[in-house]
Chain A
Amino acid sequence: SQKIEQNSEALNIQEGKTATLTCNYTNYSPAYLQWYRQDPGRGPVFLLLIRENEKEKRKERLKVTFDTTLKQSLFHITASQPADSATYLCALLSGGYQKVTFGIGTKLQVIP
């Protein structure tokens, strides 16, 4: 069965450092991979999408890589700030009709 794993339930990092979150998947051939941010008591908010034929995507301090051979995506936040503290979810989408599968999320805590 399809499975998505995100590294550890919580990641603590010092302000100013680069946070790296991992998303691994098995038994899946996604056409797209997305990253969302979720704050407590709120719905997820879309951050970035990367397609299967793309290796890397950047947006401001965010960078996402996608390795379909390793079946892995890495999500980086450079120069992290306390305001980046949240849970980050990866989501996989197959082609055609949109059925989205989410990982359980990684909680990031940026310590001042």
Chain B
Amino acid sequence: KAGVTQTPRYLIKTRGQQVTLSCSPISGHRSVSWYQQTPGQGLQFLFEYFSETQRNKGNFPGRFSGRQFSNSRSEMNVSTLELGDSALYLCASSSWTGGNNEQFFGPGTRLTVL
């Protein structure tokens, strides 16, 4: 079974621009979560989508948005980029069907805002 894939792996943008990141979950997983990881804050939850609906949302400004398509692929968009948005953005997929409720993470997208 193929793992979670994220594209692109690296991005360099300038302040004020916008960016769209993509995540393809493991086949059959309907839940996709997004996280921001920085050295000082660790993994911060952005939002979670399940069957095209946002179920949970973290404490991030409205500049961070996402969506999920009918094939469970998800995109995350950040508008009006700020220097502080530089981070590793991770997506994780899960089936949430009992067991360990584990999340399977992708390799991440490293975003640098100049």
Chain A residues close to B by CB (< 8 Å)? 32, 34, 41-46, 48-49, 89, 93, 97-105
CB <8 Å contact, B106 and A43: yes
Nearest B residue to A104 by beta-carbon distance?
B42
Stretch at the interface among B11-19, B61-69, B79-87, B89-97: B89-97
In the assembled complex, the Cα of A28 lies from the Cα of B92 at a distance in Å of 23
B43 contacts chain A at the CB level, 8 A cutoff: yes
Interface band, chain B: 20 to 34
In the complex, chain A residues whose CB is within 8 Å of the CB of B55: 97-98
**Would A98 and B102 be within 8 Å (CB), given that A42-B107, A89-B43 are in contact?**
no
CB <8 Å contact, B100 and A43: no
CB <8 Å contact, B41 and A34: no
Nearest-Cβ distance from residue A31 to partner chain B, whole angstroms: 9
Give chain B's interface secondary structure class.
strand
CB <8 Å contact, A99 and B56: yes
In the complex, chain B residues whose CB is within 8 Å of the CB of A41: 107
In the assembled complex, the Cα of A49 lies from the Cα of B98 at a distance in Å of 11
Count A-B contacts at CB 8 Å. 61
In the complex, chain B residues whose CB is within 8 Å of the CB of A105: 42-43
Query: Most B CB atoms within 10 A — which of A43, A49, A98, A103?
Result: A43
In the complex, chain A residues whose CB is within 8 Å of the CB of B44: 102
CB <8 Å contact, B42 and A102: yes
Q: List 27 A-B contacts (CB under 8 A).
A: A41-B107, A42-B105, A42-B107, A43-B4, A43-B105, A43-B106, A43-B107, A43-B108, A44-B105, A46-B103, A49-B102, A89-B42, A93-B101, A98-B48, A98-B94, A98-B101, A99-B48, A99-B56, A99-B58, A101-B45, A102-B42, A102-B44, A102-B45, A104-B41, A104-B42, A104-B43, A105-B43
In the assembled complex, the Cα of A106 lies from the Cα of B96 at a distance in Å of 26
CB <8 Å contact, B102 and A46: yes
**Would A100 and B31 be within 8 Å (CB), given that A34-B100, A34-B102, A43-B108 are in contact?**
no
CB <8 Å contact, B100 and A49: yes
7 tightest A-B contacts by CB? A43-B105, A104-B42, A46-B102, A102-B43, A49-B100, A99-B56, A97-B55
